[in-house]
A and B are shown apart, each in its own frame.
Chain A
Amino acid sequence: MAQPVEVLQGTLDLLVLKALVLGPLHGWGISKRMRSLSNDVFQVHQGSLYPALYRLEDKGWVDSEWGESPDGRKAKLYRLTPQGRKAFAAEKANWRTFAATVELVLAAD
């Protein structure tokens, strides 16, 4: 297992969006998917997922609804709105530029 890394401020939203791009999920499912997508590298309290979700919901990027979890329990399901999908694409591009620039800076000798 790789060394755990702290999540950069503001990137949690991007990870959440990425998890939801693949389909609607309840909270724990998002958390689990994020962990499996990142090979458990990112170190983040699972609880911090919820403020992030609510923030995204307020932006109108994410929509939520009480429904049933796959095993029949009452759970709140989150899904990406079309607006959220667009935002994800934009954020992703931003991130790539940012990461590439940082990489460029660090690579310079």
Chain B
Amino acid sequence: MSLRRRVVRRMRTLFAPRRVAREIEEEMALHLAMEAEDLVRQGLAPEEARRLARMTFGGVDRYTEEARDAWPLRALHRFLTDIRYAARSLRRAPSFTLAAVLAIAIGMGANATVFSAVDSIAIRPLAVRSPESLVAMYGTQGEASLLGFSYATYRDIQRNAEAFSGIVAFTEGPVNVTVSAAPVSVWAMHTSDNYFTELGVGSSLGRMYGPGDLSSPVVVLSYAFWTTALGSDPYVVGRIISVNGNPFTVVGVATPQFTGTRLFTYEPSLWIPVGMHVQTIPSSAGLLTRRDATRLLLIGRLHGGTTIAQARANLDAVAAQLAEAFPDQYRGLGISLLSNRTPINPWLAPPQRIAMIGRLLLLGALLVLLIACMNVSSLLLARMSVRRPEMAVRLALGASRRRVVQQLLTESLLLAVLGALVSIPVHVVVSQGMDVLVPHLEYRSGFRPSADARVLGYGIVLTVAASLLFGLGPALQASSRSVVSGLREFGGRGVRQWGTRFREALVVSQAVVSSFVLVAGGLFVRSLQHARSLDTGFAIDGAVAFTLQPGLSPEYDAARTVALYRVLDDALASLPGVESAARAAWLPLDSNGSGRRVFTDDGPAELAKVPVAEFNAVTPRYFATLGTPMVEGREFVTTDSATAVQGVVINQVLAQRLWPGTSAIGKRLRLESPTSPELEVIGVARPSFYRALGERPRPALWVNLDRNPRARVTMVVRSRGSELALLPAIRAAIRAIDPTLPVVGLGTLRQHVSVAYTSTESGAIGVLGFGILALLLAASGIYGITAYTVSQRRREVGIRLALGARHSSVLRLIAGRALGLTMIGAGVGAALAALVPMGLDSLLLGVSPRDPRALAMATIVFGFVAVTASLAAALRAVRLDAMRVLRLE
């Protein structure tokens, strides 16, 4: 009978006892009927036959019960006995137990920690009904992609796209919320009224708004916002809170699991029907009415059975209809969709790089666990050679091989469980330490590693898998019949040879895996070195940044906003330690940005060839404050606010593209359309990185923020001394001007752009961390096998020493083979790391995955540690007292 069937059977008696009892009864009833028939055939009357059959059968109930008890209780009992036996045997070998448990704890801790982190951003499915049937939709037109839609277009698509059972729309951004005292800035979503019903999201308190609430002043709070900002107020439903100065009634609180439809971005604190957008964000009036207000992102749910291809065809038809109905706006419109599983899906899935790093770290953690398992396996094998007599006796006494293996695997399981338990506190501490990997963000992100049921489940699966992985080989070897015969016939030599070969294979594979991980770690460290050494094009240190959004407060009209900035500029200027300050729509590398088409009179007429430049709006002294030098001309000055033709600053890349070979100063350009007002180039700035570290130089331009005001600005303040000292002073200064104005993301400029370094940093810290763990585990593995060799060859070493062998030759004898194997393994591992395409190219910055320095670095470190570990163990051999050893033997 197969093991699987037996397990199934036992599970059934344990978990479906009634069905099993029914089966037994059925079987016995058949028995009675057959017996009676047989008796009738022998000539008895049917009545009498039945009576006799029952009599000779005995008590049906009694035997049913006995039969049912025959296996599950035995199995349970046997298991408990095995556990007790295993515990006793582990207690008898404390140093072995400690070493094994520690190795497992390291592996398990690494895995639980990485899993909890990666799960929260990249694996965990959205907390919505059937997330797999959701797709994100976006518009394309010419070269432009990832376009949003207007509300009217959303309704058109909703009406005509039959492939979808429902489509929801949303737009997101910051709002100021006043619960009781001063307003706070939080991330909010304005959604279509069917958002919650279509996604299938329930409330943990009150109700979610639904169809019919499109223009109701109602708000749903996120669970996190409810607990932090409202102290989990149980009577919150019906409370009025103010959003950007408008009263809203709280109708419900979302479930703790639902944190929006994006996994790794800002997490919304509240949801508002999109019909209220015109009141909360008056500056973008017309979102519901104007076809050119294309701010909405769409998520659709496919009808059951509809394929992605069918949905695409459907959307193509819808786009064609739209282009026909509104040719001015929609000529060349395409509606694309991304399935939920597509990693680059911008609205449903986390950014690709983050997801890739996550997967890489998960792989790293699994490799560390693998190395740990090999260590334990090797320890177990060494222990088996000590326990050979015990095994031989048990087998000789008639224990089946199955029982012995079962017993040994129970011991392995116990070890794995102990290791997992030890790893829990480690996991908790490390999880908290992982906050350092979270970039400084303006709003709460979805990154929240936690020890929850999913991590527990993952841990249990790993524990069982690990115990089988490291326990099965040694258990099979120890229980093989040849152990017994081996004892008798060859004095154990044959078995030892088999065990030794197995251990040597373990050492080689361990070296392969750990040098592989170490090389990857080296690559990431080199990549981080490169990232840190890159000239970003502006001075990252010695400045402070923060964001203000007066546009979200209804009392800040244009005039009052101008006044606010004037007072603020004066206040900052009077702070000791401030060298200069400036405002911008956003700062480079802070993950915000936008592009503009640039038209010139003598430029290309074809739309596809019109250059697109990075856009920003900045005040005077912006370049001086940021530390980006001007190559030609000047930056904005206060008097530029009154010139007839607006000035524009462009960067060298754009200048060379538009006017190669001549000076750009005084030249004219227009943005977005050939008919928009002309701008005059007043300065050319040196290029810097705008969107990502190490990007290819992009064209960029800057307009005057004073003449193009924005609802949201980021300030950058250059300090004379330490920028950290400026932080409290700036907060106090703003509070003095307007205590109700939220200051968002106040921190150093380096923190402000930290998101640009995140993937490189977390990759370096994570992968190098695993490299070091792998190295430690491999070192203890090498130490272990060398020490084992010493113990096995004690007699031989004793004789050699007694005969006057030199210590160095004994060392070579003992350590040589293990060391040689290790170095072969390390070479293979390094070669694998260099040759196996792991998709590292896109994660590494300025470093080739075959970077010779990283390879050399890793190999040297590994070699040094391997030599140290094996020599440390082998030195014990030469310290042996030759005579005593010989006497012992």
**Measuring CB to CB, which residues of chain A are less than 8 angstroms from any residue of chain B?**
26-28, 31-32, 45-48, 50-51, 53-55, 57-58, 60, 63, 69, 73-76, 81
B71 beta carbon closer than 8 Å to chain A? yes
Ranked 7 nearest A-B pairs via Cβ: A45-B58, A58-B71, A47-B63, A54-B70, A51-B66, A47-B58, A28-B34
The answer to whether B59 has its CB under 8 Å from any CB of chain A is yes
Chain A contacts of B67 at CB under 8 A?
50-51, 53-54
* Known contacts A27-B27, A27-B28, then 10 further A-B pairs from the complex at CB < 8 Å, ordered by chain A residue: A28-B30, A45-B56, A46-B31, A50-B63, A50-B66, A51-B63, A53-B67, A57-B70, A58-B6, A58-B71
Q: Do B75 and A58 have beta carbons less than 8 Å apart?
A: yes
A28 touches B63 (CB 8 A): no
B71 and A50 contacting across the interface, CB-CB below 8 Å: no
B60 contacts partner chain A, Cβ-Cβ < 8 Å: yes
Name A's interface SS: helix
Tell me the residues in window 50-79 of chain B with beta carbons closer than 8 Å to chain A beta carbons.
56-60, 62-64, 66-71, 74-75
What residues of B have a CB within 8 angstroms of the CB of A81 in the complex? 1
* 13 examples of A-B residue contacts, CB within 8 angstroms: A27-B30, A47-B28, A47-B63, A48-B58, A50-B24, A50-B67, A53-B67, A54-B71, A55-B70, A55-B74, A60-B402, A69-B34, A76-B27
Most buried by B among A27, A28, A76: A28
Report which of A26, A32, A47, A63 forms a contact with B59, defined as CB distance below 8 A.
A47
Bound CA span A53–B64, Å: 12
The chain B residue sitting closest to A76, CB to CB, is: B27
Determine how close the nearest CB of chain B comes to the CB of A9; give it in whole angstroms: 14
Q: How far is the CA of A28 from the CA of B67 in the complex (A)?
A: 15
B residues within 8 A CB of A63? Answer: 1
Measured CB to CB, the closest approach of chain B to A26, in angstroms, equals 7
Contact between chains at A75 and B30 (CB < 8 Å):
yes
Give chain B nearest CB distance to A58 CB in angstroms: 4
Asked whether B35 is an interface residue with its Cβ less than 8 Å from the other chain, the reply is yes
- Bound: A47/B62 CA distance, A: 9
B22 to chain A, nearest CB (A): 12
Q: Which residues of A have CB within 8 Å of B57?
A: 45-47
By a beta-carbon cutoff of 8 Å, the part of chain B in contact with chain A is 1, 6, 9-10, 23-24, 27-28, 30-31, 34-35, 38, 56-60, 62-64, 66-71, 74-75, 402
A46: shortest Cβ distance to chain B, in Å?
5
Q: Could you count the A-B residue pairs with CB atoms below 8 Å apart for me: how many are there?
A: 75
B241 to chain A, nearest CB (A): 65
Contact A31 B31 (CB under 8 A): yes
Instruction: Indicate if the CB atoms of A60 and B71 lie closer than 8 Å.
Output: no
Give the residues in chain B near A46, CB-CB below 8 Å: 31, 35, 56-58
A64 CA / B691 CA spacing, docked (Å): 68
Q: Is the CB of B402 within 8 A of A50?
A: no
Pair A57/B58 contact, Cβ less than 8 Å? no
A60 — which chain B residues lie within 8 A by C-beta? 1, 6, 402
Q: How far is the CA of A81 from the CA of B70 in the complex (A)?
A: 18
* Residues in chain B near residue A55, CB distance under 8 A: 70-71, 74
Name B56's closest neighbour in chain A (CB-CB).
A46
User: Inside 8 A of A27's CB, which chain B residues have their CB?
Assistant: 27-28, 30-31
Minimum CB distance partner of A55 in chain B: B70
Q: How far is the CB of B256 from chain A (nearest CB, A)?
A: 46
Partner of B63, one of A32, A48, A57: A48
A50: chain B residues within 8 A (beta carbon): 24, 27-28, 63-64, 66-67
Chain B residues closer than 8 Å to A53, beta-carbon distance: 67
What is the bound-complex CA distance between A60 and B71, given in angstroms?
11
> In whole angstroms, how far apart are the Cα atoms of A76 and B29 in the complex?
12
**Given the interface contacts A47-B28, A63-B1, does A32 sit within 8 Å of B62 by beta carbon?**
no
Q: Chain A contacts of B31 at CB under 8 A?
A: 27-28, 31, 46
Given contacts A27-B27, A60-B1, whether A51 and B56 have CB atoms under 8 Å apart is: no
Q: In the assembly, what is the distance between CA of A73 and CA of B24, in Å?
A: 16
Per the bound structure, the CA–CA distance linking A74 and B58 in Å amounts to: 23
The interface residues of chain A lying within 8 Å CB-to-CB of B58 are: 45-48
Give the residue of B30, B38, B66 whose beta carbon is less than 8 angstroms from that of A73. Answer: B30
Do residues B70 and A51 form an inter-chain contact, with CB atoms below 8 A?
yes
Contacts of A51 in B (CB 8 A): 63, 66-67, 69-70
A17 to B276 Cα, complex, angstroms: 81
Contacts of B59 in A (CB 8 A): 45, 47
Q: Which residue of A lies closest to B23 (CB)?
A: A76
Query: Complex formed: what's the CA distance from A24 to B698 in Å?
Result: 81
Are the C-beta atoms of B71 and A57 separated by less than 8 Å? yes
Question: Which residues of B have CB within 8 Å of A45?
Answer: 56-59, 63
How far is it, in angstroms, between the C-alpha of A90 and the C-alpha of B48 when the chains are bound? 42
Give every chain B residue within 8 A of A31 (Cβ-Cβ): 31, 35
A45 CA to B38 CA in the complex, in Å?
A: 17
B113 to chain A, nearest CB (A): 41
Contacts of A73 in B (CB 8 A): 30
Cβ contacts under 8 Å, B402 to chain A: 60
Give the nearest-CB partner of B59 in chain A: A47
Bound form: Cα–Cα A30–B164 in Å: 63
Which B residue's beta carbon lies closest to that of A46? B57
Chain A residues near B74 (CB-CB < 8 A): 55, 58
Which of A46, A53, A55: most chain B CB closer than 10 A?
A46
Find chain A residues with CB under 8 A from B23 CB.
76
Contacts of A26 in B (CB 8 A): 30
Please give me the residue from chain A that is nearest to B70 by CB atom. A54
Kindly provide the distance from the CB of B30 to the nearest chain A CB, expressed in whole angstroms.
Answer: 6
Residues of A within 8 A of B71 (CB): 54-55, 57-58
A48: chain B residues within 8 A (beta carbon): 58, 63, 66
The distance in angstroms between the C-alpha atoms of A58 and B70, with both chains bound, is 8
- CB proximity of B587 to chain A, nearest CB, Å: 71
Assembled-state Cα–Cα distance A48/B31 (Å):
12
Q: How far does the alpha carbon of A74 sit from the alpha carbon of B29 in the complex, in Å? A: 11
Query: With a CB–CB cut-off of 8 A, which chain B residues contact A28?
Result: 30-31, 34-35
Cα-based distance from A75 to B63 in the complex (angstroms): 18
Contacts of B34 in A (CB 8 A): 28, 69
Contacting residues, chain A, for B60 (C-beta < 8 A): 47
Contacts of B9 in A (CB 8 A): 57
Inter-chain contacts of B68 with A (CB < 8 A): 54
Known: A48-B63, A54-B70, A73-B30. A32 touches B6 (CB 8 A): no
Q: For the complex, give the distance between the alpha carbons of A63 and B2 in Å.
A: 9
